Amino acid sequence: MINRFSPRSCLYLCVSGNFMTALEARHIAQQYVSDIGEVLPEFMFGLGDEEEFVDKYYFDFIWLTLTGQIPEEPPVAGGARGLTVNKYDKKVELISHGGYGVLRDTENKLTETYQLFSDFKNGKTRLQELKAKFDLTSEQLLELSKVIKDTELNREAIYAIINGLLDKVKNYR
């Protein structure tokens, strides 16, 4: 039997706190690349474009000379595509091209789920569609429907609900 999912505690922990701003995340990311220093002879990383995800900020790496200038001909090198800064714990992680693809796919699925939950809350989607999409038992479906109806839906809330469901599924198996 699956233990009772407690989304309210997860929502409180994951959603109610203050998120860092993009400016704060960029400052953390800049400090990180500064601490790395010289990556290749005469070159270091800088930060390029940023992208906000539900739980983190992503920053592209760009090549800079050691004097901080963008080189006319950047070096050809493989490795990390960029880095992420977690909005909750400020943890910095390097991210590969493949990791970035996974991050984008996850964000797209989250957007689809947000739309599905919003449609359900607004009466445009039926319980059976949720049950089929998430392969839920009747008990889980009933609980999920209560959570959706009792929650002010935003992307962060959906993220917290999905993570809570995934944790319960992992514990069940």
Q: How confident is the model at residue 173 (pLDDT cuts 50, 70, 90)?
A: very low
Supply the pTM of this predicted model. Answer: 0.74
Angstrom distance (rounded) from CA 33 to CA 48: 12
Span 114-125, pLDDT tens digits: 888 888 888 887
Domain ranges of the chain: 22-96, 100-172
Span 94-138, pLDDT tens digits: 999 999 999 999 888 888 888 888 888 888 878 888 888 888 888
C-alpha atoms less than 13 angstroms from C-alpha of 49 in its C-beta half-sphere: 3
Name the 3-class secondary structure at 83: strand
Phi, psi of 92 (to 5 degrees): -100, 135
Give counts: helices (H), strands (E), the chain: 6, 5
**Lowest pLDDT segment from 4-8, 20-24, 169-173:** 4-8
145: tokens are 């429907």
Is 7 buried (19+), middle (13-18) or exposed (0-12) by CB count in 10 A? buried
Angstrom distance (rounded) from CA 139 to CA 101: 34
| CB distance 92 to 84 below 8 Å | yes
What's the full length of the chain, in residues? 173
| CB distance 58 to 29 below 8 Å | no
Question: What is the percentage of the chain residues whose pLDDT exceeds 90?
Answer: 43
pLDDT at 146 over 80: yes
